[in-house]
Structure 1
Amino acid sequence: MPTSDDRQFPPRFNAARYCLAENARLRGDKTALIMVGEGGTVSRLTYAQADRAVRGIAAGLLGLGLKAGDRVMIRMGNETDYVLVYFGALAAGLVALPSSPQLTADEAAFLMENAAVAAVVTGDGFSKSDDGGPAGCIRLDSEKIAAMKAGEPLSDYADTAADDPATLVYTSGTTSRPKGVLHAHRAIWGRRPMHAHWLGLSEADVMLHAGTMNWTYTLGVGITDPWACGATTVLYNGPRDRGIWPRLIAEQGATIFAAVPSVYRQILKYADLAAHDLSRLRHGVTAGEALSADLLETWTQATGKPLYEALGMSEISTYVSSGPTIPVRPGSPGRPQPGRRVAILPPDGPPEPLPAGETGLLAVHRSDPGLMLGYWQRPEEEAAVMRGAWFAGGDLASFDADGYLWFHGRNDDLMNAMGYRVSPVEVEGVLAGHPDIAEVGVTELAVRPDLRVIAAFVVLRPGAEPDADALTAWCVARLAAYKAPRAIRFLDALPRTANGKVQRKRLAEAAE
């Protein structure tokens, strides 16, 4: 079981070696990854095969002249090669940049330019001419990756330091463009407290994750954590089917199921739970959105299985949770996992932890190995979140007398859309380019007590007619689907402060 000693990571550490080398040696014939596709087709990858393919890709990338620290962008769908390229980059001492296939060409081009990527790997459905990118950027498709997998592999994983950069993840910031969160190889070591205290994960488990590989929730909980423990991962890349998950749990013998709360809600609504044998399932886990007390109760009553929530963010993954060692308390995401140093700090003044019951900024100590190295080329934003020895990401919260965390909103305007953090400034910038729009404000809108969506509040130019469908189509063509507003409201004027700043918290009120 992880303890406070888990903060003491080895000075020389490679994340890909940690997940694959020993598994290939001790359990090479064991299935590491199961991909279930259209019509129930199943493909399997053993630990020996994964280790061989990852080292082959690593050798191929280095053979192209890439050097330690170079960024490799992954622009693929939910394909097995996604995870192999991800770990291949780490195995070579390069920096993997996972991205979503939902990104538009302009959004992808921004990431490529901002990160100065040295290579981009595209999968099925992506043309080499889809994106811009820096001059000299190497383009790799599935055929070239297949050749690397079949080629001579590296004899060993790169001898990286634990603090060497490994992964660059882009997330929405307070500006109109996403910001890069740079993680070190030690970030995988920093996930160890999650295994016992949230996931209850061991070598004997079969983990079914409802997400796609491009999401850090899936790459982490769905793949990295099971592989770090020698367990088996199951992913689905077939047609969209909101009721398929109980069938996959039964067919694949899943012992743990991971999803966002909205997926659990869809299962309860669309799936016939009684038609499937869920006896091997020990519990479900959820993150990315707040788990409502009503959904927790309904799921537990319908299945008889516990549901454990976790709180995390791109900068540190999950660090507060319920789980096998932390009893569920409805309405709270849980307590800090043992070994974590978590505190509530005053929003202003010296960063001295507040006592239980007082509301302030939720903070994690900078000694946590899961904490990011920093924001990519954003020193001003990095300085803004570091409070002495603490990282404070902007959430307002408090601890009760038993150590459970309770949310009180955010100290900034970032939105949460299906588990993705989205900047309202980015969405506003896209809508402001529409010829019919004079002013726009974007915020979250509660459409149900347990569901919030991104909403745009629009002031039209004189003579323009309100057309919500046209504005939605404008956004969908220019933003990833999860960033596009799900609701459009038309106003005569936006609520503003005396200094002229849009009051996002009053937008919904102004539309009533």
Structure 2
Amino acid sequence: MNQPAVSPTLDTLFQRTLARQPHAPALLDPINKMRVTGHIPRRLTYAEADRAIETLSAHFVESGLPANSVIAIQLPNTIEFVLTVLAAHRAGLVVAVLPLLWRHAELAAALNRTAARAIVTMSKVDGVIYSDLAMHAAAEAFSIRHVFGFGSELPEGMASLDDVLARPPGTTRSVIQDGRKAAIISFDVTAEGFRPVPRPHFSLIAGGLAISLEADIPQGATVMAAFTPMSFAGLAASLAVWLLSGGTLALHHPFDNEVLEQQVNEQGCEVLIAPAQLMLRLGADLAARMPGLRNVVGLWRAPEQVAASDAWTSPHAPLTDVYLFGEAGLFGVRRGEDGVPVPVMPGLRGAVREQSGSSIAGEILLTPRNTLGLRGPMVPIAAYAPPQPADDTLMAQPARDYVDTGFAARIDRPSGAICITAPPSGIMAVGGYRFLSNDLQEWARRLGQGALLTALPDRLSGHRLAGRAHDNARAREALSELGLNPLMVEAFRDRTGPA
């Protein structure tokens, strides 16, 4: 009797390359890792990475984490992040990714909403003591049973994963490798509020394919990922693209322009994946500064800005624009020889560029609300299902087969292209951090009469926060004590300079 076919997982892709070239370079740390985390930068082959993954996976199993339970991760863009994600999947766990900008309030909410059984963090990142943040958040999540950390000077009660990696692998368990199983949980903000978004392996792989095939990333390439990985787009553009290419993944913890250029040249990177606005600023003399680059992928957190962006001026390394829509999904469009953005046509998008008969990577549509909708294998439709209307009918509403991203859009009549005109109403974005505009008013009210917290438009990050209070220093202290994001805290920094 034939066994039913199963789709690959991320670990399946890793194992395929491991079997083919075990001694090829797999992972390269940021060259400034000592400054970021206090660790010496490392380089791992596929065989060395596999041993580390096996060791961590066995430790998670021996710690008593049940299969299919959730392990939360808050780590920088370093080798430890990649190893932990793959080790968790090998142990049959589901990974919840927690952005580094999150502090106590958001961490506790995410851990409780996902019923996470463990959390993994780094002792210190860019001077911030994340081990203490994890311990305090875990204390408010009743489901947490284990707190793991990389680095030195970990607080009492936090198990050191560096010590685990120094030991031989222990006992692991057999896990069915099926891409339909849950792989990650990321977090989004919609008009309905904070929303966990679970995804299976095949959805994450589909996101990586949409990027790598549109950008024509060659097999065996050395890929530099300079985009925070704590989101669906970050995971698809780094982990999934690397595993699909079977090459080398070089990691850069965002963001230092000089270090980035040095790292691209020293590590022989052929592909650079980074925020698009930054790439456009570097594009003028990219050939002189990073001559080895052959491919650039720019990720747009504010996709409504793509059409009005500057032309790409480095023909030796073509640019692919990747439109990001929160955690709902993404699509990529490679620029033409003139370097200007290519119009986006609604309808089905093939997995292979300019090949109408290829398998479907996704579909772009205009919803009845004149917003942009997405559907396809990477889009988690169930996670974004609208709430059942509160009425007297007992009849279930018809299921929606697409996700409404909330981005305002229209059809350009002369060309038939879809034009994205504005971000979702009521939702602010500062880089990768999304929040409801009502939250700003709520936090300002907590600071007392006369306090103001607002979001101002910003060309690079979408919005930037600005605050005003009778005493800015005391406002910063109060917001820090509430466990709020540092972007909100620093909105009340003193802006008065010397006369």
With the shorter chain as reference, the TM-score category is: 0.7 to 0.9
Instruction: Give the structure 1 partner of residue 486 of structure 2.
Output: 481
Q: 1:75 to 1:36 in 2, by over 3 A?
A: closer
Q: Secondary structure at the match of 1:225?
A: helix
> Aligned residue pairs: how many?
448
The answer to whether the Cα contact below 8 Å between 1:54 and 1:87 also exists between their aligned partners in 2 is: yes
The answer to whether the Cα contact below 8 Å between 2:273 and 2:296 also exists between their aligned partners in 1 is: no
Alignment-mate amino acid for residue 435 of structure 1: G
Q: 1:381 to 1:453 in 2, by over 3 A?
A: farther
Alignment-mate amino acid for residue 25 of structure 2: T
Q: Secondary structure at the match of 1:392?
A: strand
Instruction: Give the structure 2 partner of residue 58 of structure 1.
Output: 57
- 1:446 to 2:445 alignment: no
The answer to whether the Cα contact below 8 Å between 1:166 and 1:182 also exists between their aligned partners in 2 is: yes
Instruction: Give the structure 1 partner of residue 184 of structure 2.
Output: 167
Alignment-mate amino acid for residue 296 of structure 1: D
What does residue range 32-51 of structure 1 map to in structure 2 within 5 Å? 32-38=26-32, 42-51=41-50
Alignment-mate amino acid for residue 416 of structure 1: A
The answer to whether the Cα contact below 8 Å between 2:319 and 2:335 also exists between their aligned partners in 1 is: no
Q: Measure the CA separation in 2 of the matches of 1:68 and 1:157.
A: 10
Instruction: Give the structure 1 partner of residue 383 of structure 2.
Output: 375
The alpha-carbon deviation at position 408 of structure 1 amounts to 2.0
The alpha-carbon deviation at position 108 of structure 1 amounts to 1.3
- 1:234 to 2:250 alignment: yes
Q: 1:283 to 1:259 in 2, by over 3 A?
A: closer
Q: 1:313 to 1:154 in 2, by over 3 A?
A: farther
The answer to whether the Cα contact below 8 Å between 2:22 and 2:45 also exists between their aligned partners in 1 is: yes
Q: Secondary structure at the match of 1:21?
A: helix
Q: Secondary structure at the match of 1:203?
A: coil
Q: Secondary structure at the match of 1:78?
A: coil
TM-score, reference length from structure 2: 0.77
What does residue range 321-470 of structure 1 map to in structure 2 within 5 Å? 321-323=332-334, 329-330=340-341, 337-338=349-350, 339=360, 340-347=362-369, 360-365=370-375, 368-372=376-380, 374-375=382-383, 380=387, 388-400=400-412, 404-437=417-450, 442=454, 444-447=455-458, 452-455=462-465, 466=470
Q: For residues 147-187 of structure 1, what are the alpha-carbon distances to aligned partners after superposition, in whole Å with 9 as ceiling and x for unaligned?
A: 544443677862154332211112223356x3211111221
Instruction: Give the structure 2 partner of residue 27 of structure 1.
Output: 21
Runs (5+) with no aligned partner, structure 2: 35-39, 125-130, 151-158, 351-359, 391-395, 494-499
Q: Secondary structure at the match of 2:179?
A: coil
Q: Secondary structure at the match of 1:191?
A: helix
What does residue range 51-130 of structure 1 map to in structure 2 within 5 Å? 51-125=50-124, 126-127=131-132, 129-130=135-136
Alignment-mate amino acid for residue 152 of structure 1: P
The answer to whether the Cα contact below 8 Å between 2:324 and 2:330 also exists between their aligned partners in 1 is: yes
Identity %: 17
Q: Measure the CA separation in 2 of the matches of 1:396 and 1:197.
A: 27
TM-score, reference length from structure 1: 0.75
Runs (5+) with no aligned partner, structure 1: 1-9, 348-359, 459-464, 489-512
The answer to whether the Cα contact below 8 Å between 2:189 and 2:436 also exists between their aligned partners in 1 is: yes
Match of 2:218 among 202, 206, 225: 202
Instruction: Give the structure 2 partner of residue 501 of structure 1.
Output: none
Q: Secondary structure at the match of 2:65?
A: coil
What is the alpha-carbon root mean square deviation over aligned residues?
3.8
Q: 1:277 to 1:33 in 2, by over 3 A?
A: same
Q: Measure the CA separation in 2 of the matches of 1:34 and 1:183.
A: 27
Instruction: Give the structure 1 partner of residue 269 of structure 2.
Output: 254
Moved more, 228-237 or 21-30: 228-237
Q: Measure the CA separation in 2 of the matches of 1:331 and 1:96.
A: 35
Q: 1:433 to 1:202 in 2, by over 3 A?
A: same
The answer to whether the Cα contact below 8 Å between 1:71 and 1:119 also exists between their aligned partners in 2 is: yes
The answer to whether the Cα contact below 8 Å between 1:385 and 1:391 also exists between their aligned partners in 2 is: no
- 1:296 to 2:296 alignment: no
Instruction: Give the structure 2 partner of residue 505 of structure 1.
Output: none
The answer to whether the Cα contact below 8 Å between 1:334 and 1:405 also exists between their aligned partners in 2 is: yes
Q: Measure the CA separation in 2 of the matches of 1:94 and 1:54.
A: 13
Q: Secondary structure at the match of 1:212?
A: coil
